[in-house]
Chain A
């Protein structure tokens, strides 16, 4: 195998064999609970928020959290500069974060898997073309790539979802292609060919299921990365736009009031960190269980 940079990186990651990680031992219950909570918040959305997330209340501007001085139990986590309830905004933000993450993972993953499968199974010129395009899409750190797409496509929920897909598919294609190339050599594939199965059937019914666990692990580990990307773009003013709510956007808006209202920047940040840590822990646990040799 040629030692391309991507190969190098993978090799570097492979060597991150964690000593005493509790290999696939205890499931990360706390992390799973946090993930579940975020998913519930995302599905519930506006239906479970105590207030309408973007409704201003000028009688309760910059109210501190309930337990600090001047706070009230009306607004558990306080309110922002327009009197909007922070807890409601966090719950609404969970929906955007998870929506963009799921889009990146599911849609980007599907495109990437399909192309990776084609490249690995067909080989030859098809493989060469697809893999060079993959290299081009991975030629930049992902935040820069995302910014290049935002510059062309614009901001807003729909465009950000598209940007997430465009920045994400190539890594799936690379993973699937490298797995397919080795699976293709195995006896059962030769047998299927001898039995006269069509190439598409072999690829989909016999090769794909063998790659599925790797894809699943990559997908779970990807959720955290996607959430950070969306919140970074929104923080820069190049992602989700008001009146939509996003954790990164809330942070950018709260920044101006940092010296008088710490809760505007602390809560959204904590929400991001807790979510990302939880999904990463879940992904690491899956990886230890499904991918003991560390191929991912």
Chain B
């Protein structure tokens, strides 16, 4: 077990390090940031001073070491646009993103879990067919279109909900339904498949033969056995929601990291881009790591080779 945890930590660390190299290379691809930062009336001497200060005149590997050291200190440089530390800006935006992802996750579970369980209990029925259509639609509808259609329906045709903004519970409804619907598709299918497997298993069949009430068998035994992979998947899905939030935030003008990242790319505000990408990556990998370790604790088969 200890060995498994160590290996997993080590892998995560290496991946993170490689990711910093990748981000560093990408940042260098964009060229010399000096003209973007310095006012146009700056003299060549000023520009050179700036380059020297940021180490842009040094060899590439030295630049990388400087970059890495700064990143470890949470220093991604000053936003070209807001003239504030980029990391602070991104850190302030992570709250709304996590809130949106959390509420969306709740919506996805409320939709996906019951649909999956009920479909598994009624194989071959019209209900199961409807659930399958629901899931394939959920996987095929891009969130920006779902979002726009919801805005058309509930903010324009039937003006009952706000189409954008942040702060009140009403603001959560449309973005969270948009993102939650998308995530619910795969949760539905996974729950369905695992429930089907659990219902088919010998011990559940046995209990039914023994005449234990169906409701009890389903809720107490089948569901419990189906739940481990589902719970794991929910954890991973939360990480994926951070990615899905980028587009949804844009549609609903939600003040999160995704919105900030897209704005920063459009304005060539590279320090903010790097900080946003790095912070999301760390968060995403941390969630995956925790999920993996939890799974190993709950299911000892995983960590024994």
> Contacts of B16 on A, CB cut-off 8 Å?
139
Q: Which residues 5-26 in B have Cβ within 8 Å of A in the complex?
A: 7-8, 11, 14-16, 18-19, 21-23, 26
How many angstroms from the CA of A2 to the CA of B12 in the assembled complex? 13
Q: Are B194 and A15 in contact (CB under 8 A)?
A: yes
Q: Are B7 and A140 in contact (CB under 8 A)?
A: no
Q: Are B136 and A2 in contact (CB under 8 A)?
A: no
Q: Are A235 and B141 in contact (CB under 8 A)?
A: no
Interface segment out of the listed A57-65, A75-83, A98-106, A258-266: A258-266
Q: Are A3 and B189 in contact (CB under 8 A)?
A: no
CB < 8 Å: which of B189, B270, B291 contacts A16? B189
How many angstroms from the CA of A93 to the CA of B271 in the assembled complex? 34
> Contacts of A251 on B, CB cut-off 8 Å?
144-145, 148
Mark B291-305 against chain A: 1 for CB-CB distance below 8 A, else 0.
110011000001100
Asked if B288 CB lies within 8 Å of chain A CBs, one says: yes
> Contacts of B23 on A, CB cut-off 8 Å?
148
Q: Provided the pairs A18-B193, A277-B136 are in contact, do residues A259 and B156 lie with their beta carbons within 8 angstroms?
A: yes
> Contacts of B120 on A, CB cut-off 8 Å?
19
Residue of B4, B243, B296 with most chain A CB atoms under a 10 A cut-off: B243
Asked if A142 CB lies within 8 Å of chain B CBs, one says: yes
> Contacts of A280 on B, CB cut-off 8 Å?
136, 139-140
Q: Are A12 and B277 in contact (CB under 8 A)?
A: no
Q: Are B18 and A133 in contact (CB under 8 A)?
A: yes
Asked if A228 CB lies within 8 Å of chain B CBs, one says: yes
Q: Are B281 and A281 in contact (CB under 8 A)?
A: no
Asked if B160 CB lies within 8 Å of chain A CBs, one says: no
> Contacts of A20 on B, CB cut-off 8 Å?
123-124, 128
Q: Smallest CB-CB separation from B157: which chain A residue?
A: A259
How many angstroms from the CA of A122 to the CA of B14 in the assembled complex? 21
> Contacts of B29 on A, CB cut-off 8 Å?
152-153
Asked if A51 CB lies within 8 Å of chain B CBs, one says: no
> Contacts of A147 on B, CB cut-off 8 Å?
246, 261-262, 265, 277
Asked if A116 CB lies within 8 Å of chain B CBs, one says: no
Asked if B137 CB lies within 8 Å of chain A CBs, one says: yes
Residue of B19, B22, B244, B273 with most chain A CB atoms under a 10 A cut-off: B22
Mark B167-192 against chain A: 1 for CB-CB distance below 8 A, else 0.
00000000000000000000001101
CB < 8 Å: which of A231, A238, A265 contacts B152? A265
Q: Are A140 and B26 in contact (CB under 8 A)?
A: no
Asked if B236 CB lies within 8 Å of chain A CBs, one says: yes
Asked if A4 CB lies within 8 Å of chain B CBs, one says: yes
CB < 8 Å: which of B232, B240, B277 contacts A148? B277
How many angstroms from the CA of A250 to the CA of B152 in the assembled complex? 16
> Contacts of A140 on B, CB cut-off 8 Å?
19, 243, 277, 280-281, 284
Q: Which residues 129-146 in A have Cβ within 8 Å of B in the complex?
A: 132-133, 135-137, 139-144
- Nearest 9 pairs between A and B by C-beta? A141-B243, A136-B18, A152-B26, A269-B145, A276-B140, A5-B288, A277-B140, A152-B29, A135-B15
Question: Other CB < 8 Å A-B pairs besides A19-B193, A151-B277, 20 of them?
Answer: A8-B291, A8-B295, A15-B229, A16-B190, A132-B18, A135-B14, A135-B18, A136-B18, A139-B19, A141-B240, A141-B243, A148-B22, A148-B277, A149-B26, A151-B26, A152-B27, A153-B29, A232-B142, A248-B142, A265-B149
A-B contact pairs, 19 of them (CB 8 A): A17-B193, A17-B196, A20-B124, A136-B19, A139-B16, A140-B280, A141-B280, A141-B284, A143-B246, A147-B262, A231-B144, A236-B262, A238-B265, A269-B148, A272-B142, A272-B145, A276-B142, A277-B136, A277-B140
